[in-house]
């Protein structure tokens, strides 16, 4: 029997009760770790770092030079620490809230239970590993529950991304991929310094991670094309869209810093603000998209959401580049001609951006429709051409033929029949 033909089984009876009790226990543990780690994290962030800049970045601590830069913007050390802890805690609570919502509304569904466990464990321990690290360092008694929740989050992440949305491994070799990933990742969770002294092991861990990501993407593509039902495809689109958008934004924000400006990344306090404030917020796209997929996958047209996201992300990036380029080039021209800059450059560049917004948005929309939504674009062009002919067409016979052809081209039904009120003695309707 094919996987798509197997009827989903919902957990029942004592097994369901046991799973629900286990989820509540995981929830309480996650909240306890979040609450217990908050004051320790605040103390860490509120302490200046006098070590090498790389260590300061890893611990998200300000150097004296970095603090002076932030004080110029009105930030104190206490404000920095409070915002770091506040944003991090709020993001964890969003993961918890989405997981709790899925649990309350869909706890009778096996996949929904897995999602509820995954959101709680991953959002509060696996992704937020800083909370686990500082808590274990401050009180070794937390090692087993905190590290256990972190490892549970790793396992649930594998299960979620390799079995979503029907709870089955497709293709059948994907469990081996998950086991290989966990074999390298779990020791690093339990003993964070285990790979530090061996470059070859660090390289192997990175390669295993890359292979896992590629295998996960490949399995989802295969599942989407060959196994999933239409409702499952909508769910997959939501999850893939939210995860891909989050990872793309993180890559766009962090890659230029650490690849091209490593010295700036290690020394600048603004990188700490980026890591502490922006990354947790961007990662919230994952639980929100997963929650939407599980709870209301048919509420919105995901293709429309993706279309608008492509258009406005490209539009924003283009406008930013045009704005920065115009400001830099015009300021350079003013300095060359007059020996100094001018505020008129800022005003002129802003007005130019305002004038470019709508024409550029229309061009971006047309490009996205042509490149990614060709069938929709062709249908729109066909209807536009038909509307132009309709204004000048007077022959009812030709108009009927055009209408049948347009419906066939745009909607592509198996059969088209046009019914008209015929004159006496003539056959009604026209087939196409």
Q: Is 261 helix (H, G, I), strand (E, B) or coil?
A: coil
Last residue of one domain, picked from the residues 256, 273, 300:
300
| Cα distances (Å, whole numbers) of residue 292 to 101, 156, 165, 352 | 11, 19, 13, 38
- In the structure, what pLDDT confidence band is assigned to residue 31 with cuts at 50, 70 and 90? very high
More confident residue, 319 or 249: 249
Q: What is the pLDDT of residues 37-86, one digit of tens each?
A: 999 999 999 998 886 555 677 778 888 888 888 887 777 888 888 988 99
Q: Is the pLDDT of residue 356 over 90?
A: no
- Tokens for 89, please give them: 């805690």
200 and 132 both lie in a single domain: yes
Q: What is the pLDDT of residues 301-352, one digit of tens each?
A: 445 555 666 666 677 767 767 766 776 677 667 677 776 656 676 677 777 7
- pTM flag (> 0.75): no
- Show the beta-strand stretches assigned E in 16-73: none
State the chain's mean pLDDT as an integer.
77
Enclosing domain of residue 158: 8-300
157 and 244 both lie in a single domain: yes
106 and 214 both lie in a single domain: yes
More confident residue, 430 or 363: 363
Q: Is 419 helix (H, G, I), strand (E, B) or coil?
A: coil
| Cα distances (Å, whole numbers) of residue 358 to 351, 361, 431 | 13, 5, 43
Residue 305 lies inside a defined structural domain of this protein: no
CA distance 105 to 58: 39
DSSP state string for 333-376: HHHHHHSS--THHHHHHHHHHHHHHHHHHHHHHHHHHHHH-HHH
Residue 17 lies inside a defined structural domain of this protein: yes
24 and 49 both lie in a single domain: yes
CA distance 82 to 292: 31
Residue 369 lies inside a defined structural domain of this protein: no
Tell me what pLDDT residue 418 has.
62
Q: What are phi and psi of 301, to 5 degrees?
A: -80, 105
Residue 333 lies inside a defined structural domain of this protein: yes
Residue 306 lies inside a defined structural domain of this protein: no
| Cα distances (Å, whole numbers) of residue 290 to 130, 162, 165, 295, 355 | 24, 14, 10, 9, 38
156 and 274 both lie in a single domain: yes
296 and 317 both lie in a single domain: no
Q: What is the pLDDT of residues 392-421, one digit of tens each?
A: 666 556 666 666 666 655 555 556 666 666
- The number of folded domains in the chain is 3
Last residue of one domain, picked from the residues 300, 325, 347:
300
Taking a C-beta distance cutoff of 8 angstroms, is the pair 430, 417 a contact?
yes
- In the structure, what pLDDT confidence band is assigned to residue 370 with cuts at 50, 70 and 90? low
Tell me what pLDDT residue 308 has.
64
Tell me what pLDDT residue 4 has.
39
Residue 1 lies inside a defined structural domain of this protein: no
Q: Is the pLDDT of residue 298 over 60?
A: no
Tell me what pLDDT residue 365 has.
75
339 and 225 both lie in a single domain: no
Per-residue b or e along 341-380, where b marks 16 or more CB atoms closer than 10 Å to that residue's CB: eeeebeeebeeeeeebeeebbeebbeebbeeebeeebebe
Share of the chain above pLDDT 90, in %: 22
295 and 396 both lie in a single domain: no
152 and 296 both lie in a single domain: yes
Q: What is the pLDDT of residues 76-89, one digit of tens each?
A: 888 888 988 999 99
385 and 262 both lie in a single domain: no
Q: Is the pLDDT of residue 151 over 90?
A: yes
Q: Is the pLDDT of residue 7 over 60?
A: no
Residue 207 lies inside a defined structural domain of this protein: yes
383 and 322 both lie in a single domain: no
- In the structure, what pLDDT confidence band is assigned to residue 14 with cuts at 50, 70 and 90? confident
Last residue of one domain, picked from the residues 300, 330, 347:
300
Best-predicted range by mean pLDDT (15-19, 117-121, 170-174): 117-121
255 and 212 both lie in a single domain: yes
Q: What is the pLDDT of residues 179-235, one digit of tens each?
A: 989 998 899 889 888 887 778 888 888 888 888 888 888 888 888 888 888 778 878
Residue 101 lies inside a defined structural domain of this protein: yes
């Amino acid at each position: 029997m094919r996987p798509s033909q197997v009827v989903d089984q919902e957990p029942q009876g004592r097994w369901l009760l046991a799973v629900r009790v286990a989820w509540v226990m995981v929830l309480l543990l996650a909240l306890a770790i979040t609450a217990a780690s908050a004051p320790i994290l605040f103390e860490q962030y509120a302490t200046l770092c006098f070590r090498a800049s790389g260590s300061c970045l890893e611990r998200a601590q300000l150097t004296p030079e970095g603090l002076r830069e932030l004080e110029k913007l009105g930030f104190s050390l206490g404000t920095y620490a409070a915002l770091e802890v506040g944003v991090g805690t709020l993001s964890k609570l969003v993961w918890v809230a989405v997981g709790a919502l899925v649990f309350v509304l869909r706890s009778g569904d096996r996949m929904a239970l897995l999602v509820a466990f995954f959101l709680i464990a991953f959002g509060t321990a696996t992704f937020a590993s800083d909370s686990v690290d500082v808590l274990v360092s401050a009180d070794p008694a937390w090692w087993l529950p905190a590290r256990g929740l972190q490892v549970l989050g790793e396992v649930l992440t594998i299960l979620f991304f390799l079995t979503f949305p029907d709870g089955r491994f497709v293709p059948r070799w994907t469990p081996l991929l998950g086991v290989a990933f966990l074999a390298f990742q779990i020791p690093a969770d339990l003993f964070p310094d285990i790979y530090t002294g061996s470059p070859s092991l660090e390289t192997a861990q990175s390669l295993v991670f890359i292979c896992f990501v590629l295998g996960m993407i490949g399995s989802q593509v295969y599942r989407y094309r060959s196994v999933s039902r239409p409702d499952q495809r909508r769910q997959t689109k939501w999850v893939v869209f939210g995860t891909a958008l989050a990872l793309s934004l993180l890559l766009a924000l962090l890659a230029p810093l650490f690849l091209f400006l490593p010295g700036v990344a290690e020394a600048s306090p603004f990188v700490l603000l980026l890591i502490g404030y922006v990354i947790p917020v961007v990662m919230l796209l994952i639980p929100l998209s997963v929650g939407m997929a599980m709870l209301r996958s048919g509420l919105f047209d995901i293709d429309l959401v993706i279309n608008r996201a492509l258009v406005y992300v490209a539009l924003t990036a283009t406008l930013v580049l045009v704005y920065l380029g115009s400001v830099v080039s015009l300021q350079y021209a003013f300095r060359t001609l007059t020996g100094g800059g001018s505020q008129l450059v800022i005003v002129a560049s802003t007005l130019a951006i305002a004038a470019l917004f709508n024409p550029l948005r229309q061009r971006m929309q047309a490009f996205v429709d042509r490149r990614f939504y060709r069938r929709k674009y062709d249908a729109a062009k066909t209807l536009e051409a038909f509307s132009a002919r309709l204004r000048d067409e007077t022959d009812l016979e030709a108009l009927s033929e055009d209408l049948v052809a347009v419906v066939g081209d745009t909607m592509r039904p198996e059969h088209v029949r046009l019914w008209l009120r015929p004159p006496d003695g003539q056959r009604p309707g026209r087939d196409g």
